[in-house]
Amino acid sequence: MEQKKTPVYVLTGFLGSGKTTLLKEMLTAEKSAGRTPAVVLNELGEANVEKSYFNEETLIEKLNGCICCTIQTDLTDDLLDFFTYSKKKPDVMFIEGTGVADPLQVMDGLTDPRLQAFIDIKSVIGVVDAARYIEYQSMFSSSKEVREVLRSHLLHSSLLILNKVDECDVRTLEKVKKKIDKAKPSSVPVIEASFGDVLHEELMMSRFEHNSENSQKQRQEIQHSHSHSHFQALHIEPETQLQKENLKNWLESLPEQVVRVKGIVHMKGEGKRAILQYSPGSLSLEPLSHRDEDGGQRLIIIGYNINSADINESFSKMM
């Protein structure tokens, strides 16, 4: 008797686009329907500061690399071990790649012949930040690396979520939509959203085409495609509590090559640590649950061609 395969959904999108918010919404809906999800989380750095969001989930973490290249084989092997030895298989699996992951390369890992008995790839969901899309496409305020990553998300997703439309005026939104329509395959639908609020049935539709001929062509492309090779993650572990205003000023002073900062921090005057999420122009601090109170702090600065010494020095001066 052929075993039932686990549906798999891949979430991709640039740093700060709202992938994790969307993932949390999808998990809530699946559990409300009585299904048991599993989650694969990938981070460029040595720690996943968003892990506390998924305390109640079956979780596979892939750290210190990107599942689309440096730890792609590890992902395949870990999934093989998971599905081979787990006593209870999940009803559905969600894979959230790093913000610089190429969906094409992630799919190459998932289409390993050894995995085909266990998983059924349903969709590659690309999340696009409508509020910053034009800025990221600009040669003057972005970089070649960023533009190539964004292009790969548009080209290789089976569904696009145009997120944060509430942060755009009508004229800007229309401009963004026209640019995306020109860049994406005509068959790929686009759904507008704010805060990742999308009809769950739309997200869970099967949209991935299994085509062995295309897969071979894509594997050849993959060998020549490493558009995020210059992205890096710098780690800072503050030893004392932080002043909120000083931290905010420091974040805003970071060079334009820094595209995202994540972390777990303890602000002066606050009883609990908080999850920090920062992209240029946007800072959020969300209190951690008491179950994660080990007292440590860490910041993960993600960017391209960043000068680690300069950033460490500026942080020290801020302290």
Is the pLDDT assigned to residue 250 strictly greater than 80?
yes
- d(C-alpha 269, C-alpha 249), whole Å: 18
Give the count of beta carbons closer than 10 Å to the beta carbon of residue 33: 11
Identify the CA nearest to 203 among candidates 21, 41, 16: 21
Q: pLDDT tens, 228-248?
A: 434 566 888 899 999 999 999
239 and 186 in one domain? no
pLDDT greater at residue 232 or residue 273: 273
Domain assignment present for 57: yes
pLDDT, one tens digit per residue, over 27-61 is 999 999 999 999 988 765 555 556 667 777 777 76
On average, the pLDDT of the chain sits at 81
Structural domain including 191 reads: 6-222
Considering only residues 155 and 223, tell me which one the structure prediction assigns the higher pLDDT: 155
What pLDDT, on the 0 to 100 scale, is given for residue 291?
52
Structure-model confidence comparison of residues 229 and 315, the more confident one: 315
Q: What is the pLDDT of residues 82-100, one digit of tens each?
A: 898 888 899 999 998 877 7
The yes-or-no verdict on residue 24 having pLDDT over 80 is yes
- Note whether 59 and 194 are same-domain residues: yes
- Residue 68 confidence (pLDDT): 44
Q: Say what angle helices 144-156 and 103-110 make with each other, to 10 degrees.
A: 50
Residue 168 has pLDDT above 60, yes or no: yes
What is the domain-level CATH number for residue 247? 3.30.1220.10
Same domain as 218, residue 80:
yes
- Under 8 Å between Cβ of 151 and 183: yes
Please give the model's pTM, rounded to 2 decimal places: 0.70
* Rg of the chain taking only CA atoms, in angstroms: 19
Dist CA 115 CA 308 (whole Å):
39
One-letter amino acid of 172: T
164 and 285 fall within a common domain = no
- pLDDT at residue 222, as a whole number: 38
Where residue 16 sits, what CATH number does that domain have?
3.40.50.300
Q: How many domains does the chain divide into?
A: 2
Pair 110, 248 in one domain: no
Q: Answer yes or no: do 218 and 298 share one domain.
A: no
Question: Do 39 and 165 sit in the same domain of this protein?
Answer: yes
1 in a structural domain: no
Q: Give the list of residues 6+ apart from residue 17 with CB closer than 8 angstroms, or none.
A: 99, 127, 128, 129, 163, 164
pLDDT value at residue 221: 43
Work out the end-to-end distance of the chain between its first and last CA atoms, rounded to an integer number of angstroms: 62
pLDDT digits (tens, 9 = 90+) for 276-296: 888 888 898 988 765 554 568
CA-wise closest residue to 67 among 114, 115, 113, 99: 99
Residue 307, helix vs strand vs coil: coil
- Top pLDDT among 230 and 251 is at 251
**pLDDT of amino acid 46:** 54
